[in-house]
Amino acid sequence: MNLTIIGTGYVGLVTGAVFAERGHAVLCVDKVVEKIDLLNRGGMPIYEPGIEESVAASRKAGRLRFGTDIAEGVRSADVIFLCVDTPPHESGSADLSSIEAASNQIARHLDRYKVIVEKSTVPVKTGERVRQTIARKCPEGVEFDVASNPEFLREGSALADARKPDRIVLGVSSERAGAVLRSLYASFEAPLIVTDIPSAEIIKHAANSFLAMKISFANAVSRICELAGADVAEVMRGVGLDRRIGPAFLDAGFGYGGSCFPKDVAAFHRIAQELGYDFRLLQEVQKINEEQRQHVLHKLEQEVWILKGKRIALLGLAFK
């Protein structure tokens, strides 16, 4: 298929690279000229093991291109992926201005049936807003579908995650869009969940919030272990061996961080509020996470008395 990826950030580049590996013709479009120039010179605006080699091989084979012309991207594509940033507002809600801008540009250049896919992490009901925006401004009589296909990439192993995903989630509103996306993912060996668009949108926020909850739970247990003289590593190992729970994300430490968990937990809490539900559990997840950072600093102060002017080494620090 002919695919256009709008946005050449982390999600866009990895998505484009992996689809190009599978033999699809991929055009990655970005409004930032400097970023496209860098990619066309063989540079890379992100660090991810293996991505540079993957991109170089697909460019050499003629399956992967980079450009700034969104009109070309829209007209040439069978499927268009929205991989633009959705940074948080101070309130915790997602900034969807880039999604809206991309939707308006797609509408102006839509000339035949295409599937427009949300790949960015967005609040529930964003798909309907995208559909309405494009429907208002696209040429009369041109058909299209909007779909949701959330990403589940981890920094540092994103390429492996995209090549061999744990699951593929497709949120669609028509059999036609479902058939197109099933065909696109036919070569991937992974459980396929085909559902409605709102459910697919919530799956991403729910998954990341649940993982953040596991981290906060482990850190809360670590506080109890300190008071009781128990070994939290042994405790969580015993907990994680339960097949219903699993060992992942049960290591006590500084708490979660990075570009996804804080943003997604805050956004999901905000989404719940806007829908009329007080998601107090997520409030506690965030509270425990912040308290854990302060607790670690307090423990350091107990050990070295005064932190100011001290040189502190962090060994084995990961972004989560």
How much is the CA Rg of the chain, to the nearest whole Å? 22
Residue 83 designated active-site: no
Which H, E and C letters describe 282-315, residue by residue?
HHHHHHHHHHHHHHHHHHHHHHHCCCCCCCCCCC
List the catalytic residue out of 28, 83, 138, 260.
260
Among 135, 89, 129, residue whose Cα is nearest residue 110: 135
Contacting residues for 317 by C-beta, under 8 A, at least 6 apart: 254
Name the burial class of residue 296, with classes exposed (0-12), middle (13-18) and buried (19+) by CB atoms within 10 angstroms of its CB: middle
Write the DSSP assignment of 65-103 as a string of letters.
EEES-HHHHHHH-SEEEE----PBPTTS-B--HHHHHHH
Among 269, 254, 268, 265, residue whose Cα is nearest residue 319: 254
In whole angstroms, what is the distance from residue 221 CA to residue 41 CA? 50
Active centre residues (catalytic): 260
